[in-house]
Structure 1
């Protein structure tokens, strides 16, 4: 009888995704289903809702985006995911609005002494296929800089300011004003995840409040510029009130490259399908948005390959990227890189 060698398992492509917000978990879930080795690097400058409240109350990083990324990469049963995601009702006083998962992350970080150790334990408990890493292991304050020279601190305050944001920086939330100034440092394994990836993805997510707070950390900025990986930016479909009014797709890429200090974006994924007029007219005034315009010349100046696709996925809650088409396009980019 001839002994047959076991088949050689194909290496999973390494994808590192940098961002935050609601779009990130959707992408992570799709990349996991496509059998990628996924690492999520998540912003820690959020100061709103349950995350912001816990950050101030127990001196920890905001856990909300991290919670959603853990769920997206988890293989545990749905009943346990539902438990982790459950939010207390408005009648629950001090616990109102808090997700159980946020409380668990904060508690284990305190028990283990740091958030990195807490996330390693949680990833094991939750059967996470991949890694979820905070961009920094200390909470950060987002600083918005405006054309008139004004600087405003705090994500909520920055995006509420009526003027156009020029650029953002971050500082440590727990900085001692009487001591030496410490610069935010990338969390453990963050730089190596960027440098060792086959593909690094920025977005989808809010430009100034989900993506750029990560880039504003010097270690991360330098790693994105220096990585041999292909750097892909997923451009938003709609403009965002308080951040990107009147922005084209080229404006988004230009602002990221300006924060990076180099034309480091290799590929831009843009939606080429018009958003129906009826949907735009039905949106409430508070959430009034317009579709991002296409600037072919401006994109050419940023020296990035442009891939257009029908990414449009309209739901009652808003306009999103179609998960399957987005992942298919990313996989195509990786295949072209391998050639």
Structure 2
């Protein structure tokens, strides 16, 4: 009897626009994908829906569902459609956000809602909201002041000292990730963090206590995709080693095993800073600082220039992730 080959398991954690870039390029590869999505967003259509119906903000989840869905482009366009009418309620809302809000009420929670939606949208992989309740992101800045709420923290444009999450519904109870998230982390071959805003997209997931504990204990290779540009206020003047240092300090251990760093220069005067007003400057490479933290460094051209902004080339990044997975599988085979 021929034993069925086990597909490598990869867990991608984050939020914002960076997560779908990786997932779109992972879809169709010979891997078992789990996307762990932050539930601490409180801006835009997501924030308005959260205020009205008290559900987890759906924006990041909507984009992840679309990135892994195998449905036709027209259905995905409909799901992503954002109303531009003058209706006081619908204007500015994405249709998918309303669907997720409705399913959340029907299923009495975001986790079961997303599992149902994944079936409807024919998702290739697993999508797990990190918690089954809306969370609030909190930050203390280097000047000692504190703020709550992702949009408020981002808008402050101040240097952040550290962040943490709290339940928006049960302030006296520490939030916990759902069991499926922890099981995915412990069973993974590779865990990918980023790309995305360091303090407001990546760390909100990691600051849930049982997620941090799982990352410290897992035998999976933890890969961090370092941002190409610094972000105004959040990471101004940060090197790539500074990004990794913040992650390790928040997790109270050197958790990052491998870091992917872009070394292709962004052309001078290319960035439209009025359009991409969160971008500050290109992240400086600090190889020595990275090595001091015990992580393997893979530096290459991961740059994609579009719309006068600097972004990750998802295909090149995923090719490197697949190479790393191949090395892990080879070691496991040799160890038998």
Give yes or no for TM over 0.5. yes
1:132-190 Cα deviation digits (max 9, x unpaired): 111111111110112232211111111222431011011111126xxxx1000102401
Q: Shift of residue 317 of structure 1?
A: 5.5
1:16 to 8, 11, 20: 11
**Structure 1: where are the runs of 5+ without partners?**
none
Are positions 1:67 and 2:67 aligned together? Answer: no
Are positions 1:227 and 2:222 aligned together? Answer: no
2:236 to 241, 245, 259: 245
Q: Shift of residue 96 of structure 1?
A: 1.2
The 1:81/1:317 distance shift into structure 2, 3 A limit, reads farther
The 1:287/1:142 distance shift into structure 2, 3 A limit, reads closer
What stretches of structure 1 move > 4 A for 4+ residues in a row?
none
Aligned position for 2:103: 108
TM-score normalised by length of structure 1: 0.93
The 1:175/1:8 distance shift into structure 2, 3 A limit, reads closer
Q: Shift of residue 287 of structure 1?
A: 4.4
Are positions 1:129 and 2:124 aligned together? Answer: yes
Matches within 5 A, 1:316-327: 316=307, 318-327=309-318
In structure 2, what is the Cα distance between the partners aligned to 1:172 and 1:30? Answer: 33
Are positions 1:311 and 2:302 aligned together? Answer: yes
Question: Structure 1 stretch 315-324 or stretch 217-226: which is displaced more?
Answer: 315-324
The 1:288/1:258 distance shift into structure 2, 3 A limit, reads closer
Question: Structure 1 stretch 112-121 or stretch 7-16: which is displaced more?
Answer: 7-16
Aligned position for 2:258: 267
Aligned position for 2:334: none
1:35 to 30, 39, 47: 30
In structure 1, what is the Cα distance between the partners aligned to 2:80 and 2:212? Answer: 32
Aligned position for 1:195: 186
Aligned position for 1:284: 274
Task: State the secondary structure of the residue aligned to 2:231.
Answer: coil
**Structure 2: where are the runs of 5+ without partners?**
332-336
Are positions 1:45 and 2:35 aligned together? Answer: no
1:278-324 Cα deviation digits (max 9, x unpaired): 303x4328345210001112111111000011000011062111111
Question: Structure 1 stretch 283-292 or stretch 129-138: which is displaced more?
Answer: 283-292
CA contact (8 A) 2:12 2:36 kept: yes
In structure 2, what is the Cα distance between the partners aligned to 1:219 and 1:114? Answer: 20
1:120 to 108, 115, 125: 115
The number of residues matched between the two structures is 329
Aligned position for 1:217: 208
Aligned position for 2:320: 329
Are positions 1:144 and 2:134 aligned together? Answer: no
TM-score normalised by length of structure 2: 0.94
The 1:104/1:263 distance shift into structure 2, 3 A limit, reads same
In structure 1, what is the Cα distance between the partners aligned to 2:273 and 2:166? Answer: 35
Q: Shift of residue 90 of structure 1?
A: 5.1
1:112-142 Cα deviation digits (max 9, x unpaired): 1121111111111111111111111111111
Question: Structure 1 stretch 108-117 or stretch 267-276: which is displaced more?
Answer: 108-117
